[in-house]
Amino acid sequence: MKYGWIDEYLQNKTGVTKDLQKDWNWIRYQVGGKMFTAVCLAENNEPYYITLKLEPEEGEFLRVQYEDIIPGYYMNKMHWNSVKVDGEVPDDLLKDLLDKSYQLVFDGLSKKKQREILGE
The one-letter amino acid code at 93 reads: L
Q: Is 22 exposed, middle or buried (0-12, 13-18, 19+ CB in 10 A)?
A: exposed
Note the pLDDT of residue 75: 81
pLDDT digits (tens, 9 = 90+) for 103-114: 999 999 999 999
pLDDT digits (tens, 9 = 90+) for 63-74: 999 999 999 887
> The pTM is what?
0.93
Percent of the chain with pLDDT over 90: 83
* Domains defined for the chain, CATH in brackets: 6-118 (3.90.1150.30)
